[in-house]
Amino acid sequence: MHGRTILLIVGGGIAAFKALELVRALRRAGAHVTPVLTENGARFVTALSLSALAEAPVRQSLWDLEAEATMGHIQLSRAADLIVVCPATANLLARAAAGIADDLATTLLLATDTPVLMVPAMNVRMWQHAATRRNVATLRGDGVTVLDPDEGEMACGEYGPGRLPETEAILAAIAAQLAPTQAARALAGRHALVTAGPTHEAIDPVRFIGNHSSGKQGFAIAAALAAAGARVTLVAGPVHLPTPGGVTRIDVVSAREMAAAVDAALPADIAVMVAAVADWRVEAAPAKLKKGGAGPPALTLVENPDILAAVGHGPRRPRLVIGFAAETGDLIANAAAKLAKKGADWIIANDVSAGVFGAESNHVHRVTAAGAEDWGPAAKDAVAARLVDAIVETLK
């Protein structure tokens, strides 16, 4: 972040005061901040505080002749390495999505070719409103990174998603957007869909069938895809891992929920199915099963939908479909068989008999129609980076 320039647009919401904390954190990290305060933003924070913390003059109007003479607004919008809108109100999102340019902030957004990161904060109903959902989808489709707000108690007393994410999470998302050299922006404009973690299949209201998947490898891949500039949707089974910066996370529990979330997230350019999906579910009992009497209950298993195969053979097949194979024997042969069965371009095969679950490292082979490649033992982050390099190479 050091030496990079961030144009920070502060919108008019109660969370605007947190933008001041963000400015301090950015300055501490060595970034230059060019602050822009909207008319409504100025009702929540003063230009003076913003300017003092940013150590730079605040731009507030399109019609400030003196400021325009120093640096015109078109140049202003392009001189930055990243434009951050924080807080992005429902109104700002709507105007940006519609391409309206009726003040300095929206004019800058329309005039720029610099990457844009929006950090929404608003009332939970406003965030969930169909109009906002549509606007967010439009912006994301246009290549804008829109973070998901945090869930919690809101300034207005309601509870739900709408809170401004923590400063650290915003910083991480900014870092992910900036990290990139030219090569690392290689997936800009692409949508990547990743599944990760286990699924839990209910036996009754208190018990489930699960597996040892920790989600670490899938989360590392989602983070690496986001760092390469892709828009990432991460469908996560029940795991306790932080959401990587710049990634849209959808939490699910069962295989059927995961299948529905994956279907709803399509279309995508890239699918990486890392989740350890339970192959079978149980016809769940409506009430807790009790012991005693007629001996242990017999569980009837029903096969779950194969999510990877549905994507790989489906009508909206992403250009690149990648599956994982967890095997305890005949690694390459079993993985190769899954290529055709699942309609995948590559299968990343790992031997799970050797304590991979929950570990920080992995030993995988990439199996394609052309054969198998041993990637050797490596940290899960390194496996993710190598996989993303291979994805970039293939989609060139």
Q: 81 or 306, CB closer to ligand CTP?
A: 306
Interface contacts to ligand CTP, rule CB under 6 A: 195, 255, 273, 275, 277, 279, 304, 306-308, 323-326, 338, 342
Q: 297 or 305, CB closer to ligand CTP?
A: 305
| 8 Å CB contact between 256 and 305 | yes
Q: 117 or 352, CB closer to ligand CTP?
A: 352
Report the C-alpha gap between 12 and 92 in whole angstroms: 9
Alpha carbon of residue 321 to chain centroid: 18
Minimum CB–partner distance for residue 284 and ligand CTP (Å): 17
Report the C-alpha gap between 391 and 393 in whole angstroms: 5
Q: 96 or 275, CB closer to ligand CTP?
A: 275
286 Cβ contact partners less than 8 Å away, ≥ 6 residues apart: 204, 205
Both structure tokens of 130: 């169909």
List the beta bridge partners of residue 242.
none
Q: 117 or 250, CB closer to ligand CTP?
A: 250
Minimum CB–partner distance for residue 301 and ligand CTP (Å): 13
| 8 Å CB contact between 32 and 7 | no
Minimum CB–partner distance for residue 140 and ligand CTP (Å): 24
Minimum CB–partner distance for residue 306 and ligand CTP (Å): 4
Report the C-alpha gap between 289 and 335 in whole angstroms: 38
Residue 124: other Cβ atoms inside 10 A: 18
Tell me which DSSP letter residue 99 carries: T
List the beta bridge partners of residue 159.
153
Both structure tokens of 295: 């001996």
Minimum CB–partner distance for residue 195 and ligand CTP (Å): 6
Task: Decide if 156 is catalytic.
Answer: yes
Both structure tokens of 14: 């109660």
Helices (H) and strands (E) in the chain, counts: 14, 19
Q: What are phi and psi of 319, to 5 degrees?
A: -60, -35
Summarize the chain as % helix, strand, coil (round to 5).
35, 25, 35
Q: Among the options 74, 110, 131, 156, which is catalytic?
A: 156
- The residue with tokens 């519609």 is 98
Q: 104 or 321, CB closer to ligand CTP?
A: 321
Q: What are phi and psi of 107, to 5 degrees?
A: -65, -40
Minimum CB–partner distance for residue 98 and ligand CTP (Å): 38
Report the C-alpha gap between 201 and 110 in whole angstroms: 47
Q: 87 or 197, CB closer to ligand CTP?
A: 197
Minimum CB–partner distance for residue 218 and ligand CTP (Å): 9
| 8 Å CB contact between 268 and 233 | yes
Catalytic residue positions, numbered: 156
